[in-house]
Structure 1
Amino acid sequence: MSDVTSTVEQYIAIWNETDAERRRALVAEVFTPDASMTDPLGSVTGHDGIDGFIGGAQAQFAGLTFSLPKAPDAHHDLARFQWYLTAPGADEPLAIGFDVVELTDGRIAKVHGFLDKIPG
């Protein structure tokens, strides 16, 4: 479980990494080359697609931080976890999501994302 927790923590760190070069290196480290990411806002494949999708979200939500409110729940090659998107100093997250990741050899092969709360 600690390996899965570490992978999910790295995944969240990618969403918070604003240095484009460092973010791209983390995407290559955490995701398989043909990984896919699908949520209500889009669907992308491969490192370029994932990096671009995350970069676009960062531009839209500049200054906000992603976090894990608790450890992921995992079995076999699957993990599920909730995440928060919060403004500095805020008591409540602006957005709450729920992701399920499929792992291959310890790397993320697929992300299935859901949005529980979005800014209105």
Structure 2
Amino acid sequence: MNDIVNAYLDTWNAPTIAAGKELLERHWSVDATYVDPLAEVSGREGISAVIAAVHEQFPGFVFSLVSGPDAHHSQTRFQWGLGPAGAEPIIIGFDVVTLDEDGRIRSVIGFLDKVPA
């Protein structure tokens, strides 16, 4: 499951929208869903739009692995951080990723553990 967590973080850290869409096509199901306290979308285009909005709101920030992953069956959970490269994350979240039968991300359920005031 480390590979899928890396692919997930790579998707969020893609330097361009085109690179992000290529990673979505490679690692995410066509009908993938993403739900967190701020968004609920389905499909690669919807997920791409959420990622673009985060990049716009937090320019230059990167996602990193904070803890995990912990996996069983087709699910994995891990804690991630978002902040300037090489610095303590300003935002910390916890995601649960479920894979489809082809090993692609089918769904993500996210929670925010630490957010700035």
Name the TM tier (shorter chain): over 0.9
Cα shift at 1:89: 4.4
- Residue in structure 2 matched with residue 20 of structure 1 by the alignment: 17
1:84 aligns with 2:78: no
Specify every segment of 5 or more residues in structure 1 that has no aligned partner in the other structure, as ranges. none
The change in CA–CA distance for 1:25 and 1:89 in structure 2 (over 3 A counts) is closer
- Residue in structure 1 matched with residue 4 of structure 2 by the alignment: 7
Is 2:90–2:115's contact at 8 Å kept on the other side of the alignment?
A: yes
1:59 aligns with 2:88: no
Q: How many residues align?
A: 116
Cα shift at 1:28: 1.0
- Residue in structure 1 matched with residue 97 of structure 2 by the alignment: 101
Aligned partner of residue 17 in structure 1, secondary structure: coil
Please give the TM-score of this superposition, normalised by the length of structure 1.
0.92
Aligned partner of residue 49 in structure 2, secondary structure: helix
**Deviation digits for residues 28-78 of structure 1 (CA, Å, limit 9, x no counterpart):** 111100000000001000010011111111110111110002341000000
Is 2:35–2:108's contact at 8 Å kept on the other side of the alignment?
A: yes
**Deviation digits for residues 68-117 of structure 1 (CA, Å, limit 9, x no counterpart):** 02341000000000001121343x21000000011112110000000001
Is 1:32–1:108's contact at 8 Å kept on the other side of the alignment?
A: yes
Separation of aligned partners in 2, 1:111 and 1:44: 10
Separation of aligned partners in 2, 1:109 and 1:9: 15
Aligned partner of residue 30 in structure 2, secondary structure: strand
Is 1:37–1:111's contact at 8 Å kept on the other side of the alignment?
A: yes
